[in-house]
Amino acid sequence: MPIDPALQEMIDRIAVEETFSNFLHRVDAHDWLGVRELLAEVVDQDLTSLLNTARAPGPVSGDEYAEFVKTGVSAFTATHHMSTNFVIAIAGDEATAHSKMFAYHFMDVPGLTVKFHTTRGWYDTGLRRTGAGWRISRMHIHQTTGEGSPEIYARLNFAHLPGPRALSAVPTNVS
């Protein structure tokens, strides 16, 4: 017996939110295999409002995006990523999830007076249903405000990563 379409949409909405929440949990836990598992084969990414980072916006392989996340997050002593207020739309095997972002990054290194940066804004995420479940196919991060020391991002080193480059690793939209 087929599942009622309204029930299927509720099931999908829960699965989409859980997929993205699990992605953030795995990022903070440094579970890099788990991070990769939740990414599609290709991820359309744009982090330029957060960082004018070492990666220009556009599509990259899931492997490249996972390595980019690993490289950036591993440089911090601790991170804490939160996402709330999900607005999810399902269209067949594609989904979009708009959610609020609060991300804390702490770097305990000599020479930094302020050792953290907190970012606020939103995530625009695309997900695709696969045989293994929902997978992240788009990650656009939009920073609206930040506080703390943006200098910690200058200590990130993305030079060894493949892919298109942007200008620097200094936040472009901080207060």
Chain segment 83-101, per-residue pLDDT in tens: 999 999 999 999 999 999 9
3-state secondary structure the chain: CCCCHHHHHHHHHHHHHHHHHHHHHHHHCCCHHHHHHCEEEEEEEECCCCCECCCCCEEEEHHHHHHHHHHHHHCCCEEEEEEEEEEEEEECCEEEEEEEEEEEEECCCCCCCCCEEEEEEEEEEEEEEECCEEEEEEEEEEEEEEEECCHHHHCCCCCCCCCCCCCCCECCCCC
Look at residue 44 in the predicted model and tell me its pLDDT.
97
Look at residue 51 in the predicted model and tell me its pLDDT.
62
Q: What domains are there in the chain, each with its CATH number?
A: 5-154 (3.10.450.50)
What are the Cα distances from residue 57, in Å, to 7, 15, 120, 127, 158?
36, 27, 20, 17, 15
Q: How far apart are CA 119 and CA 73, in angstroms?
A: 14
Per residue in 69-81, pLDDT (tens digit) is 998 899 899 999 9
Per residue in 4-21, pLDDT (tens digit) is 999 999 999 999 999 999
Which distant-in-sequence residues (6+ apart) come within 8 Å of 143 by Cβ?
A: 49, 50, 101, 119, 120, 121, 171, 173, 174
Look at residue 150 in the predicted model and tell me its pLDDT.
80
What are the Cα distances from residue 126, in Å, to 158, 168, 175?
24, 26, 28
**0.85 exceeded by pTM:** yes
Look at residue 111 in the predicted model and tell me its pLDDT.
83
% of the chain with per-residue pLDDT over 70: 86
On the question of pLDDT at 59 being above 60, the answer is: yes
pLDDT average, residue stretch 128-153 = 93
Kindly report the average pLDDT of the chain as a whole number.
Answer: 88
pLDDT, greater one: 154 or 76: 76
pLDDT average, residue stretch 42-49 = 90
pLDDT average, residue stretch 119-147 = 96
